[in-house]
Amino acid sequence: MFYELNDEQKAFRKRVREIYEREVSPLVEEYERKEAFPVQLYPILGAEHLLCLRCPKEYGGPGLDKISECITVEELNRICVGIGASVMVQGGLATDPILHFGSEELKQKYLSPAVRGEKIGAFALTEPDAGSDVSGIRTTAVKRGDTYRINGSKTFITNGTICDFVTVAAYTDPSKRGRGINLFVVERGDLGFSVIKKLKKLGNHSSDTAELAFDDCDVPKERMLGEQEGGGLSQLEGTLKSGRLTYGARSTGVGQAAFETTLSYIKRARRHGQPLSRSQAIRFMVAEMAMSMEAMRYMTYRGAWLFDQGVATMKDASIVKLFCSESVQSIVQKAMAIQKHAGLRADNPVQRFLRDGRLSKIPEGTSEIQHLVIAGGLGL
């Protein structure tokens, strides 16, 4: 049973934190204002082997485990959730399906450049009328000789405005609900593919998010993932299971940032002429924050350990995602309550943590969907 990081993993965390503090921290305020992702980060992180961490060495990746991936996600999201979102999609949703189900040609063409940060990937599943209900998507892919013609629209697509390729979910057989889905790789230059608009959001400002359109977009049949039509739902389930565990690390990262900022504020602030740290009410609140952080971190890395052992279920992943995304709500709300009016200042990162933390409940399946998955895993 996994309980504690070993010395090698602790050294890895230290190295990762130093890199992110050096390369990412100076960019946060500027790109939060711009509401854009600093694309210059991709080759930098690629050179540091911090993109697509579980990608095997044969494709240029470091070939690390899920625990190591969660370490990097926690540390990056501790600094900036928006930037973290774009990097997470690159190393997970956009490339995982290609790694596990793509042909050797597709792996060489997309994985290796993605690992180096030379190509940026996106993942297109969510639609205006379907998100957590994967089977409810309406995008279709109709075979026409040696190509598939894709028609439909996708929304809330991370990296949508900056991607070089996007992994798209579409029905090849709409009569087979869920089972008739396939995944395709669409390139930015493909005719019929377009970015409709960039979306403005409550949080995650430094993550580019877009609405995409596919209008008679023809892609070669070789860019379909898998050897036959159908089976895309099971491919998506594997990808989402990994992503939900990663989301535990994401929530843990923003929670840690809020906790550290609040603890620093408490130690230096005074209220009613007394050090704030002597207030029993404040001490109780920060103790609860610390307790939540310990529980979130344990849940996340236990889930990652189960994943590395090959025994993690979708229920396990949903428990991690639900617990951590809900727990971080309490942490950021306490952080704001402790700082009161100071937390509302635009130059105080606590307001950003509050906004970014709120979005943890929605992507990778809403909290409501996680409840249903867990209940289903219990036989209900």
Nearest to 299 by CA among 327, 274, 273: 327
The DSSP secondary structure of 114-165, one letter per residue, reads HHHTSS-EEEE--BTTBSS-GGG---EEEEETTEEEEEEEEEEEETTTT-SE
Asked if 211 contacts 161 with a C-beta cutoff of 8 angstroms, the reply is no
Instruction: Say which of 21, 288, 364, 368 is annotated catalytic.
Output: 364
Asked if 75 is an active-site residue, the reply is no
198 bridge partner residues: 210
DSSP state of 360: G
Torsion sign across C-alpha atoms 94, 95, 96, 100: positive
Query: C-alpha distances in angstroms, 378 versus 1, 154, 311, 375?
Result: 22, 32, 16, 5
Amino acid at 295: A
Structure tokens at 273: 């002429």
Q: What 3 state SS string does 167-206 have?
A: EEEEECCCCCCCCCEEEEEEECCCCCEEEEEECCCCCCCC
Residue with tokens 């971190």: 297
| Catalytically annotated residues | 364
